[in-house]
């Protein structure tokens, strides 16, 4: 089991360090190697995704990724900005299927901005297509420009596109995931306005014919954004394109009150995967030992489950996280009256201790 560890920027280094300690506590035959990515790699090597980092990731079975980005890089040419590192990894590794679960932990019901009855027991799986759409359209850029900021440019454009095979494969992923859950898929589009998404809708409908046991519903993205806050529990598996998935997954994560809790997995056809928390690099709290490492720790559990088929080890991590929450430990982002505030490291320590206990018990 070879893991490329790419902590990245901001809180990335702190949260990934805790996930690494958790993986080590499992005492499995795991090899881990780290490399710089994002702004940190730009500072050291002049590029957010250096050749050596990309190679490490491509040669590994899985990538454990922290987060990239900082406002201070906003003035760089686009190809040199930290975000290009994650986009490059997705593209080069062909990580087209992005799983973003939004689960409301019973202990954290009170942390949501929605009423408890709306979100208690919430368990949605957003499946976002990750290597197509307007994110990777051609051509891409502003006209008549040579530098990143084009003071004299008259227009800017990005193209939205999807090919049939791209839609088909993500649709299969969604229907198969639904078979293991409550057998319902909501496909989110904007077919009323965009040709790309009329095509999306048609292709998803065509693929659905192979899954008569799964219910398929189509929903426009604006309506989906509204329904997510009106009655989120009506959703189960949501499948959508890259851009809508970016937006809706942030919305869904916040329903649970704790974006700091949500892991994600991005897989290719070979089951190689990149695992990262759903949240960003949070430069404002970086280096302060405040960030919640649980999303990254739970991403490591997803890695064990999806890429390595180590169900038991994955369960062990998830059980440890639940027991730590049940014991009342909270990082600042999920803290509430009556619970105990811990640091990033303190939370990592607690999860490691809970795992070690289960190992000793056998």
Closest listed residue to residue 228, CA positions, set 247, 242, 202, 208? 247
10 Å CB burial of residue 124 (0-12, 13-18, 19+) is: buried
Single residue of 86, 97, 125, 214 touching ligand IPM by CB under 6 A? 86
Closest listed residue to residue 241, CA positions, set 294, 279, 204? 204
Residue 247 CB, shortest distance to Mg ion, in Å, is: 8
250 assigned to active site: yes
The reply on whether position 246 binds Mg ion by CB under 5 A is: yes
Residue 110 CB, shortest distance to ligand IPM, in Å, is: 26
Beta partners for residue 189, in sequence order: 220
Query: What does 86 interact with, of Mg ion, ligand IPM, none (CB < 5 to 8 A by kind)?
Result: ligand IPM
The Cα–Cα gap between 215 and 186 comes to: 8
Q: Active site residue: 61, 123, 250, 315, which one?
A: 250
**R_g of the chain computed on alpha carbons:** 20
The reply on whether position 83 binds ligand IPM by CB under 6 A is: yes
**Looking at beta carbons only, is 266 or 310 nearer to Mg ion?**
266
Residue with the closest Cβ to Mg ion?
A: 246
**Looking at beta carbons only, is 173 or 320 nearer to ligand IPM?**
173
**Looking at beta carbons only, is 61 or 83 nearer to ligand IPM?**
83
55 assigned to active site: no
The Cα–Cα gap between 106 and 19 comes to: 23
Cβ atoms of 279 and 331 within 8 Å: the answer is no
Selected range binding Mg ion among 34-42, 102-110, 194-202, 244-252, rule: CB under 5 A: 244-252
158 assigned to active site: no
Question: How many C-beta neighbours within 10 Å does residue 77 have?
Answer: 11
Cβ atoms of 42 and 82 within 8 Å: the answer is yes
Helix (H, G, I), strand (E, B) or coil at 347: helix
Residue 246 CB, shortest distance to Mg ion, in Å, is: 4
Question: How many C-beta neighbours within 10 Å does residue 164 have?
Answer: 13
**Secondary structure string (H, E, C) spanning 54-119:** HHHHHHCCEEEEEECCCHHHCCCCHHHCCHHHHHHHHHHHCCCEEEEEEECCHHHHHHCCCCHHHH
Longest dimension (CA), the chain: 68
Residue 230 CB, shortest distance to ligand IPM, in Å, is: 23
**Looking at beta carbons only, is 87 or 314 nearer to ligand IPM?**
87
Residue with tokens 């999860």: 351
Cβ atoms of 269 and 168 within 8 Å: the answer is no
**Looking at beta carbons only, is 83 or 349 nearer to ligand IPM?**
83
Site for ligand IPM in 237-256 (CB under 6 A): 246
The reply on whether position 251 binds Mg ion by CB under 5 A is: no
**Looking at beta carbons only, is 86 or 109 nearer to ligand IPM?**
86
222 assigned to active site: yes
70 assigned to active site: no
Single residue of 87, 255, 317, 321 touching ligand IPM by CB under 6 A? 87
The Cα–Cα gap between 350 and 292 comes to: 12
Residue 1 CB, shortest distance to ligand IPM, in Å, is: 24
Cβ atoms of 147 and 77 within 8 Å: the answer is yes
Q: Active site residue: 59, 74, 77, 222, which one?
A: 222
Q: Active site residue: 9, 70, 162, 190, which one?
A: 190
Give the E-state strand segments of 213-272 in sequence order.
215-220, 237-240, 263-267
The Cα–Cα gap between 248 and 261 comes to: 17
The reply on whether position 259 binds ligand IPM by CB under 6 A is: no
**Looking at beta carbons only, is 38 or 50 nearer to ligand IPM?**
38
Query: What does 349 interact with, of ligand IPM, Mg ion, none (CB < 5 to 8 A by kind)?
Result: none
Instruction: Write out the residues near ligand IPM by the rule CB under 6 A.
Output: 69, 83, 86-87, 246
Instruction: Write out the residues near Mg ion by the rule CB under 5 A.
Output: 246
Question: Which residues form the catalytic set?
Answer: 135, 190, 222, 246, 250
């Amino acid at each position: 089991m070879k893991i490329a560890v790419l902590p990245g920027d901001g809180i990335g280094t702190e949260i990934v360090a805790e996930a690494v300690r958790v993986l080590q506590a499992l005492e499995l035959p795991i090899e881990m190697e780290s490399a710089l990515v994002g702004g940190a790699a730009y500072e050291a090597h002049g590029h957010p995704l250096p050749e050596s980092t990309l190679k490490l990731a491509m040669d590994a079975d899985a990538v454990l990724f922290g987060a990239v980005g900082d406002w201070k890089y906003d003035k760089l040419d686009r190809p040199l900005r930290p975000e290009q590192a994650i986009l490059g990894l997705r593209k080069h590794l062909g990580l087209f299927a992005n799983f973003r679960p939004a689960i409301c932990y019973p202990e954290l019901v009170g942390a949501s901005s929605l009423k408890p009855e709306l979100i208690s027991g919430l368990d949605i799986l957003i499946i976002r297509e990750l290597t197509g759409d307007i994110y990777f359209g051609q051509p891409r850029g502003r006209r008549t420009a040579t530098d990143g900021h084009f003071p004299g440019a008259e227009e800017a454009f990005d193209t939205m596109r999807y090919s049939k095979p791209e839609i088909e494969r993500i649709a299969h992923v969604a229907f198969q995931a639904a078979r293991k859950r409550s057998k319902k898929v909501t496909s989110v589009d904007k077919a009323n306005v965009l040709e790309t998404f009329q095509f999306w809708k048609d292709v998803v409908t065509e693929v659905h014919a192979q899954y008569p046991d799964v219910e398929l519903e189509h929903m426009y993205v604006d309506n989906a954004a509204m329904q997510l806050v009106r009655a989120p529990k009506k959703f189960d598996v949501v499948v959508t394109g890259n851009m809508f998935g970016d937006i809706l997954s942030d919305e869904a994560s916040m329903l649970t009150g704790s974006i700091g809790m949500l892991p994600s997995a991005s897989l290719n056809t070979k089951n190689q995967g990149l695992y990262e928390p759903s949240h960003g690099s949070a430069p404002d709290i970086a280096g302060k030992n405040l960030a919640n490492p649980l999303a990254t720790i739970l991403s490591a559990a997803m890695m064990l489950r999806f890429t390595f088929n180590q169900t038991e080890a994955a369960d062990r991590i998830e059980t440890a996280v639940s027991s730590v929450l049940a014991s009342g430990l909270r990082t600042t982002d999920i803290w509430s009256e009556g619970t105990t505030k811990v640091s990033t490291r303190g939370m990592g320590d607690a999860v490691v201790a809970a795992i070690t206990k289960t190992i000793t018990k056998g």
